[in-house]
Structure 1
Amino acid sequence: MRILYLNLILMLLPVVAQAQKPAVWIVTDMSDKTLPGSNKEGTLNDPDDISAMAGYLIMSNEFVTCGIVVASTHRKEHRNSPDQAVWAVDYFGKAFERDRPCLEKRISGYPHGLCVADDAAKREKGYIPVYESVLRRTAERFEEGKSYNLSDYPSVRALFDEVSRKECSGEFVYSSEYPLNVLCWGSLTEPAILVSYCLEKGLLESLKRIRFIAHWTDSSLHQGSLECPECVANCREDAMACRFLKKNAAEGKYAYYECGAIGQHGIVSGSFKGREYYDAFRVSSLGTIFVTGKPVPLGGVDDSDSATYYVLLGRWGVTLSDLLPDGTNAPDKEKVNERMFKLEAVNIREELLRRCQVVE
């Protein structure tokens, strides 16, 4: 009987370990950087999210990834561009497929791969669903007071369905103790639509099961100022959405953690420089995407949105407890967090490189 009991515990250990991984949903403005655009990189959207996504997938055994929304952007030039979910699954999915056998063998715990969201067979097998945002076609911005029908916003609907998901016992999968972490890497339009819908329908408990972690939607130190900390790119992109989310977070309706610019001025600025160092990542297909997504002068990589998942993991200098859940970002606190990430930036890069180099 004792042996049977011990065997039962051993069988349950992987389930317990899986349950402790943070659940993640990513909303990114990322799109195919070969599509020509008018920004300084010659692309439609800043390709920094490409490097951040490659880094995330290299680290993805640390998370339960419930969905990735791409092309959540207001670039009108995207209206006639190809399906960006298909692009993302092809671009990242093939690289992940090449790297995964070695990553799984040497490190373990990785998802099976990426698939377009309507591929039910692959989702059943544990592939990460990738959604294309409706914003890619509409380029619309948030309107406070508008009654949103989520059937018009499939990727927002998918997020709502995920946070509303129940186990077979009837209990919700997510709770305030185990929330769904929504990493915001660009405009806040989709998160604002979700919150607006929940508030209109009186679904306040749904909002308690969700936690937003945003990159650079507020900073008094970089781009913004003490007088106008919200005058930064990811907030200006949809100012009404940004203001709406911050206001309701300040009222305690849900948790909103603002990273500020600590990814750019901590992780990116504090990292190794030099092409020779980053060439070592190229033994991995994902590592190659990481270093070529958005290279920076002097031989570095701009993956600044990665701050959102490194604070969630909490092992490299800055944790969620170092941020406030009300959407605010005091300049003295941002300065400390920036310094802590800068001190740990080399270790962050070394961990990514270690993982890339297990690929044969």
Structure 2
Amino acid sequence: MRSRFWMYIASIAALGSLVLAQTPTAKPIVWIYTDMSDKTIPGKNHMGTVNDPDDISAMAGYLLLADKFDTRGIVVTSTHRPEHAVSSDQAAWAERTFGEAYRAEVANLNSRLGGGFPATISFTQSCIKKTAERYAPAKTYASLDTYPTVRALFEVAAREPNGALINVLCWGSVTEPAILVNHCLSTGRTDVLKKLRFIAHWTNSSLHQGTPEHPENVANCREDAAACTYLKQNALAKKIDYRECGAIGQHGIVSGAPRGVAYYEAFKVSRLGRLFAEGKFVQNSVDHSDSATYWVLLGTMGVTLADIPADGSNTASQETANEKKFVASSRALHEELLRRARAAAGK
């Protein structure tokens, strides 16, 4: 009897081990809102483009790391530039620019890097691209019928089981996230909010652009100050999880990056690598500062989500510490991207 009992226990343990072995490690679920657009569209910014092309390099880097994430949506041209009222379909541009490059190289990425890359990744044009609408603090967004790219994220989150978490990476204006939070709170869908974690690039910094008195005086917050204020207030009240990266992408990853044309020429062996290297090449390196949002999510290059409070705060000491960590890891981070750019070319 005793022997049969221990055989039974051993069989249960073996079955448990088998189940664990067959359960893949969950990848972080990601949704991206980016102001990225075709940089050949002329505009009034410092580079003569309608939107800063740093997101182009950040997006190419993200696609080179796509095996690490469960990508549910990428919304492009979430911006307030008036030029976009008449600009071409930017989802179609993103599909031609990034979608085709990714699909052409995904087989190489999978074969060289052990699999895990989805067959395709698609892009959607933002609902505020043509209207340049900003968040209205006095408005209750009970209906999302006129905000399809906001509704799309709401529906994705609503379908996820309790306990799931969607990481919403904010690379520009936070208008669409603010509309979504307003909708959830005004319609009693706090269950959906619990499944969302916002990770924002540079909507606050007392060190860079902003000041200790006005840390919100930075480009991505000025884009829609009302939306930014609304999200920060709700984060402070612990109604949402909002991780503020500050400028650690720019002054950590980018400032610590290798310098020189020759180094970045090596990326151009593949289409995705070329997009990374040429998206925004300035001061002898690539500006992909928004990539801080997905590197902190991965947590493999010095800064993790544990280093960033969930209440939207970003003290000078915290930002300085995270900058230093990214500077120290920047060489390794770029070497990993270069390895993947070469893999995309089958090398």
Q: Are residues 1:223 and 2:186 paired?
A: no
Q: Are residues 1:114 and 2:121 paired?
A: yes
Counterpart of 1:253 (choices 239, 242, 247) is: 239
Aligned to 2:4: none
Aligned to 1:16: 24
Map 1:119-158 → 2, pairs under 5 A: 130-148=123-141, 149-158=143-152
User: In 1, Cα distance between the equivalents of 2:236 and 2:265?
Assistant: 44
Q: Deviations over 1:183-241 (max 9, x none)?
A: 00000100000000001001112111110000000000000000000000000000000
Shift of 1:147: 2.3
Is the alpha carbon distance of 1:279 and 1:193 closer, same or farther for their aligned partners in structure 2, counting shifts above 3 Å? Answer: same
Map 1:1-360 → 2, pairs under 5 A: 13=21, 15-17=23-25, 20-107=26-113, 108-115=115-122, 130-148=123-141, 149-166=143-160, 172=161, 175=163, 178-297=164-283, 299-358=284-343, 359-360=345-346
Please tell me the residue identity of whatever aligns with 1:240.
A
User: In 2, Cα distance between the equivalents of 1:29 and 1:9?
Assistant: 45
Please tell me the residue identity of whatever aligns with 1:313.
L
Q: Deviations over 1:39-66 (max 9, x none)?
A: 1211110000000000000001000000
**4+ aligned runs moved over 3 Å, structure 1:** 5-15
User: In 1, Cα distance between the equivalents of 2:303 and 2:32?
Assistant: 20
User: In 1, Cα distance between the equivalents of 2:253 and 2:267?
Assistant: 17
User: In 1, Cα distance between the equivalents of 2:105 and 2:23?
Assistant: 24
User: In 2, Cα distance between the equivalents of 1:318 and 1:74?
Assistant: 31
User: In 1, Cα distance between the equivalents of 2:309 and 2:251?
Assistant: 19
User: In 2, Cα distance between the equivalents of 1:87 and 1:191?
Assistant: 23
Is the alpha carbon distance of 1:12 and 1:154 closer, same or farther for their aligned partners in structure 2, counting shifts above 3 Å? Answer: farther
* 3-state SS in 1 of match to 2:24: helix
Q: More deviation in 35-44 or 186-195?
A: 35-44
Please tell me the residue identity of whatever aligns with 2:69.
F
User: In 2, Cα distance between the equivalents of 1:114 and 1:346?
Assistant: 28
Please tell me the residue identity of whatever aligns with 1:90.
R
- Structure 1 alignment gaps of length 5 or more: 116-129, 167-171
> Over aligned residues, Cα RMSD in angstroms?
1.9
Please tell me the residue identity of whatever aligns with 2:118.
P
Is the alpha carbon distance of 1:145 and 1:34 closer, same or farther for their aligned partners in structure 2, counting shifts above 3 Å? Answer: same
Please tell me the residue identity of whatever aligns with 2:129.
R
Shift of 1:312: 0.3
Q: Deviations over 1:262-288 (max 9, x none)?
A: 000000000000011100001111000
Q: Deviations over 1:45-97 (max 9, x none)?
A: 00000000000000010000000000000001100111111111111011111
Aligned to 2:3: none
Normalised by the size of structure 2, how large is the TM-score?
0.93
User: In 2, Cα distance between the equivalents of 1:10 and 1:103?
Assistant: 29
Q: Deviations over 1:292-312 (max 9, x none)?
A: 000011x20000000000000
* 3-state SS in 2 of match to 1:182: strand
Sequence identity (%): 54
- Structure 2 alignment gaps of length 5 or more: 1-7
Please tell me the residue identity of whatever aligns with 1:73.
T
Shift of 1:254: 1.4
Is the alpha carbon distance of 1:7 and 1:96 closer, same or farther for their aligned partners in structure 2, counting shifts above 3 Å? Answer: farther
User: In 1, Cα distance between the equivalents of 2:294 and 2:203?
Assistant: 16
Aligned length: 335
* 3-state SS in 2 of match to 1:152: coil
Shift of 1:114: 2.4
User: In 1, Cα distance between the equivalents of 2:23 and 2:102?
Assistant: 24
